[in-house]
Amino acid sequence: MAKLKIVKIGDETLRKTCRPVDVITPRILQLLDDMVETMRAADGVGLAAPQVGILRRIVVIETEPGNVIELINPKIIARAGEQTGTEGCLSVPGKCGTVTRPMHVTVRALNRHGEEFEMSGSELLARAFCHELDHLDGKLYVDVADEMFDNN
């Protein structure tokens, strides 16, 4: 595994729409592993492929230690409720913002074996699903934050 360089706000990669993964190759599997290592090293709870300069529809999330969620070609298929809270982003260091997201979210994606699955999450996991999947379409939380503030 290798720790990858996290792309920061201002880099045009973060504003591009990612391409779907057509075939899960050994390179894609290595990317998943490297993204998890990178996310953990940066104390993040989620990381999307464009944040490491790869324009593919891949996300990793770990809201509970040891429980990594890998999502390939994810789509949000249901959302309900509302929550407002603080978000940060590994690509926007030193800043946080207040963002309103759904309280409950269900995603459909492929796992590392190419099998389709659905997963639902509430609160932090729902927020992470929305935040990370936004990255795949070139959107950052700063675009939807009600207010921004320093995280230092």
HSE of 131, CA atoms in CB hemisphere, 13 A: 33
Q: Which of 64, 123, 132, 147 is catalytic?
A: 132
CA atoms of 36 and 98, how far apart (whole Å): 26
Q: CA-CA distances (angstroms) from residue 67 to 40, 51, 62?
A: 12, 21, 6
132 is catalytic: yes
- Kindly tell me the number of DSSP H helices and DSSP E strands found in the chain: 2, 8
Would you call 50 helix, strand, or coil by DSSP?
A: helix
Catalytic residues: 132
